[in-house]
Amino acid sequence: MKDIVTIFTDGGARGNPGPAGAGAVVYEGASEVATVSQFLGKQTNNWAEYEALILGLKAATDFYKGKKLSADVYMDSELIVKQMKGEYKVKNPELKKQYARASKIITDNFSLVSFKHVVRELNARADELANHAMDNPA
């Protein structure tokens, strides 16, 4: 295993709130080792972004089965990146719950996680998975 896994995540809601989906992809080097595409019901965009992060972190921990990981996480939500880095406070009560869930997964399973904001065009695979989930709510 490489020292650092790379996780790209994206969440979205059509209507905000509206039908929402989350997508995540985990890479080891250039190889895609795990993906997630999940319909989330009616949610806000920011809630879906957090859920995508949570699902991506879980996919990485499930794939590596209990190994302490280091990860670079790439998201196109500048808000969530800044909240996870501690640059912005999480004020919304529902987002606080999502933040706490993500933080617990990180604390329990990762030795180091860095968060980086990327433009949507560089997050195409996670965006594709999130849109697939919104298009296929079954």
Residue 137 has pLDDT above 90, yes or no: no
- pLDDT tens across 57-107, in order? 999 999 999 788 999 999 999 999 999 999 999 999 999 999 999 999 999
Cis-peptide into 17, omega within 30 deg:
yes
Q: How far apart are CA 6 and CA 29, in angstroms?
A: 8
DSSP conformational letter for 61: H
Cα–Cα dist 118/134, whole Å? 22
Domains of the chain, CATH where assigned: 4-135 (3.30.420.10)
DSSP state, 123?
G
Check if the beta carbon of residue 63 is closer than 8 Å to that of residue 45. no
With CA atoms as reference, report the closest residue to 69 among 116, 117, 23, 113: 113
pLDDT for 4: 87
What is the structure's pLDDT at 3?
A: 66
